[in-house]
């Protein structure tokens, strides 16, 4: 019997778009390899790998012993769900729950894109007077927490009655879309732990999934993916731009600093 993992998953050592696929992989029940077990470090290995990838981007899923590759976060998640049977097992071939999972995948991407636009990172700071970046301003940052994200959380909470058949104890299956949505909410929760103040039902779902042993394995860095560092940061964090600065990298000039 082959001892090769069913698939390999590579990403930067950051949560960002890597946390969702890692959670789906760990919840799949399949043998898999990730950054830690592959000894993959983007600083040392990404430049050589990049030209051979479909879009020159990470995350990337590969299958040992073949040239097969899957790029793009949601495609990777859907592929793992399909080969593991986790999606069909969780939905019992119910097309309504499959559609729900796909909706949650899309909603998770919407939330991620909002965080990319409005939250600072180790590479990017907020825009301000005399400093133009690809991020919004401090006012936009506040609006994200006050109005934009709460709207998305309220919408997600309304979906909870439909997710309950796939949720629960650690032996039960979560929808792939649930896991990806959790990945985005977890990253927002790291920045502002009070995000669920207006959605207690959603918080209960979040807490149950967070305490699942498979989820804990990923969050703790014990899974094959290894440690994934926090990507989105609080506006006053000392970690903002500690790994780089888009202005210098993109040649935006000293007058913007």
Of 133 and 169, more confident: 133
Residue 72 has a CB neighbour count (10 Å cut-off) of: 16
Three-class DSSP category at 26: helix
- Cβ contact 210:9 at 8 Å: no
pLDDT digits (tens, 9 = 90+) for 152-192: 999 999 987 655 444 444 446 899 999 999 999 999 999 99
Residue 248: per-residue pLDDT: 56
Give the residue-averaged pLDDT of 16-24: 98
Residue 10 pairs with which residues in a beta bridge? 60
pLDDT band at 247 (very low <50, low <70, confident <90, very high): low
Give the residue-averaged pLDDT of 186-201: 98
pLDDT band at 132 (very low <50, low <70, confident <90, very high): confident
106 pLDDT more than 60: yes
CA 62 – CA 76 distance, rounded (Å): 10
Phi-psi region at 70: left, alpha or beta (left = phi > 0; alpha = psi -120 to 50): beta
Give the residue-averaged pLDDT of 227-245: 95
Does domain 1-257 sit in CATH 3.90.180.10?
A: no
- Cβ contact 68:52 at 8 Å: no
Q: Which pTM value belongs to this model?
A: 0.90
The first and second tokens of residue 45, run together, are 């290995």
């Amino acid at each position: 019997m082959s001892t090769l993992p069913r698939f390999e998953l590579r990403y930067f050592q950051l949560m960002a778009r890597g946390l969702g696929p890692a959670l789906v992989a760990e919840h799949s029940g399949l043998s898999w390899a990730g950054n830690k077990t592959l000894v993959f470090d983007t600083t040392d290995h990404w430049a050589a790998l990049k030209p051979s990838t479909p879009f020159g981007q990470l995350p990337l899923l590969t299958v040992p012993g073949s040239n097969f590759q899957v790029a793009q976060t949601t495609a990777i998640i859907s592929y793992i769900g399909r080969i593991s049977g986790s999606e069909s097992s969780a939905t019992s071939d119910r097309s309504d729950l499959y559609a729900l999972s796909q909706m949650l995948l899309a909603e998770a991407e919407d939330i991620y894109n909002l965080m990319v636009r409005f939250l600072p990172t180790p590479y990017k700071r907020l825009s301000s007077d005399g400093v133009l970046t690809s991020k919004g301003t401090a006012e936009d940052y506040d609006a994200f927490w006050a109005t934009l994200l709460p709207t998305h959380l309220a919408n997600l909470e309304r979906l909870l009655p439909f997710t309950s058949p796939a949720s629960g104890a650690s032996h039960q299956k979560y929808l792939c879309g649930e896991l990806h949505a959790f990945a985005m909410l977890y990253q927002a929760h790291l920045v502002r732990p009070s995000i669920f103040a207006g959605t207690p039902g959603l918080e209960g779902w979040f807490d149950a999934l967070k305490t699942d042993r498979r989820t804990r394995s990923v969050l703790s860095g014990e899974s094959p993916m290894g440690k994934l560092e926090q990507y989105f940061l609080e506006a006053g964090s000392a970690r903002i731009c500690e790994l780089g600065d888009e202005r210098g990298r993109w040649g935006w000039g000293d007058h913007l600093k």
